[in-house]
Amino acid sequence: MFRFTRAVGFTFLVLSGWLMGVTAGADSIGVYWGQNSNEGSLKEACDSGSYSAVIIAYLTNFGGGRNPRLNISSHCDLKSGNCTDVANDIRDCQWQNVNILLSIGGAAGGYSIDSAADVSNVSSYLWNTFLGGTSLFRPFGNVTLDGIDFDVDYTPGDSEHYADLALSLRNHSRGPRLLYLSASVRCQITQSKLRTLLNRYSLAYTWVHFYNNPACEYNSSSAVYPDGSSLRFVNLMSSWSQWTSRNNSGTVFLKLPASADAAKSGFIPPADLFVFLSIIRTSRNYGGLMLWSRYYDSQTQYASKLLNFTAPAGAPTPLPALPPSTPLAPGSLNPDAPLKPASRVSVIAGATAAAVVTLLVLIAVSSFFFGKNHVIMVRKRLNCLYAFRKSRRYRPDEDYVDQLVPGLLTRFRYQTLVDATENFSEKLGEGGYGSVFAGTLRDGTEIAVKCLDGIGPVKKSFLAEVETIGSIHHINLVRLVGYCSEKSRAILVYEYLPKGSLDKWIFHNDPELSLDWETRKKIISGVAKGLVYLHEECRQKIAHLDIKPQNILLTESFDAKVGDFGLSKLIDRGENLVVSTMRGTIGYLAPDWLGSVITEKVDV
């Protein structure tokens, strides 16, 4: 009875908003390449093992009747129209699962998109020359890039048609997430020329400039106080929280200089950046870092230092002090921006502040009771918890999946799912590792199709779902029907739940969507029963590690089902403690995570 009551109590807190949070993003590092002949080859950049994405910079001339011009320094002979070495490097990078995008624009050059004709011409040119189309002139031959990056924020001109260009490029592509669109934007959204694009469409990735702008960058001149706190991050944190409260920002990356020589201001020393990331890495839509540029990174080894950073024993670590917790009203960033309700933004800001305070208190208590050595141990553990891991797209092996759950899941052909979803036309939602689409099989069965892709730990998410819920069944758990892992695809097929996720029913401004108390109790009871089954009634205990309203799905009669097991972990019955890296949602953080040792109790 105790276990069920405890689960009910925790679930009630979630539904009440006390533990409202966001999923931890995947740590990735990207870099811009192509603007310095001394930066080394593209292959050398990928072989360094530091990057999940490399942006080729730039296509500097396009639109307005101009002849398009690709300017990547002396890396290839553009006059011949054939960049064989770079093409081979792109192929090699993609083989290593590094995403390669082409950036259009840049700080110098001649370009503009001023008309519908420009949109059509530039879109067709990009598609046929660098992406999935065909053309007599393809500098990289038959190699297909992964996407297009918009770096047009620092030049004069109209932004309206860049949104149309993004839509036109999407219309060229077929299937889910076959073309990545990203944007490099200034940190003050009201000044961004791409605000129309950001408001209209949800990009895959947004690299936000947090340098060369004192209003929203790291301030190295701020002092570090005796208690270890600092105001160096105030402006940066304030701007970051605004970006991560937006609906359409996609996965948000901090774009930073890889050297103090790469920018006038805003360079963050690796030690300070590591601490800052330990606070914000669980922010909504956090993706990682985008560095300018490969040349500067090759000189300073900035990415490598971050990937292998270890805090000096006993050294004071300056913890960022947060700005005053002033609630953000809807539209405070941009009158036209579709923001979250102010109440939810306030909860996120409060949860972030609470996480910082909790960390400071834990370090202080450790110092008082256990002495300096224990504080050093805590810091070292934090280094392990927040150690950067390079994320890769995953190419799952069908035979291996069948061995995990032999005969229990349907192996779908990709074309079957294309037909069932009408070419992935109806999107139900989007998470950290992919999008979910509605579909109907030939026999009339309704399904939800989750396409995993992008810069993120797709392999772990795919296998975690298959291994945990692929062989179990409970009325309060979302049922995994099958999967597809043809070629580079990782797709999961679930039962369709018509009422969608719980967050849509409790975080809104529509009185008609309000749930009565009996329905709320029914949902609470259902979630608790699902957790009891996972923790106590399976052959192995299953820790979900990401319980939140977005991962609670509802049937037509409002029966609750726990879903999204991408972060889950199996625990043997004989094990009382399991070592794992920190994962899950911000808001409530079980003390167990500080030592990387957890049990299934972190769910409750």
**Phi, psi at residue 327, to the nearest 5°?**
-60, 140
Residue 198, helix vs strand vs coil: helix
CB within 8 A of 52, min separation 6: which ones? 28, 29, 30, 98, 99, 288, 390, 391, 392, 455
In angstroms, the first-to-last Cα distance of the chain is 14
Do you find a cis peptide bond into 58, omega within 30 degrees of 0? yes
Range 6-12 contact pairs with CB under 8 angstroms and sequence separation of 24 or more: 6/604, 7/527, 7/528, 7/531, 7/532, 7/604, 8/524, 8/525, 8/528, 9/604, 10/547, 10/603, 10/604, 11/524, 11/527, 11/528, 11/531, 11/547, 12/524
Dmax (CA) of the chain: 76
- Contact residues for 259 (Cβ-Cβ < 8 A; gap 6+): 267, 296, 297, 299, 300, 302
DSSP letters along 548-568, please? Answer: SGGGEEE-TT--EEE---TT-
Q: Which two tokens stand for residue 82?
A: 């054939």
Alpha carbon 38 to chain centroid distance? 31
Type and span of the H or E element at 235: helix 234-243
569 assigned to a ligand binding site: no
Q: Is-contact 253 208, C-beta < 8 A?
A: yes
Going by C-alpha positions, the residue among 102, 99, 116 that lies closest to residue 63 is: 116
Give CA–CA dist 280/283, Å, rounded: 5
Q: Considering just the CA atoms, what is the radius of gyration of the chain in Å?
A: 24
Torsions phi, psi for 479 (to 5 deg):
-85, 130
Enumerate the known binding-site residues for ATP: 450
Enumerate the known binding-site residues: 450
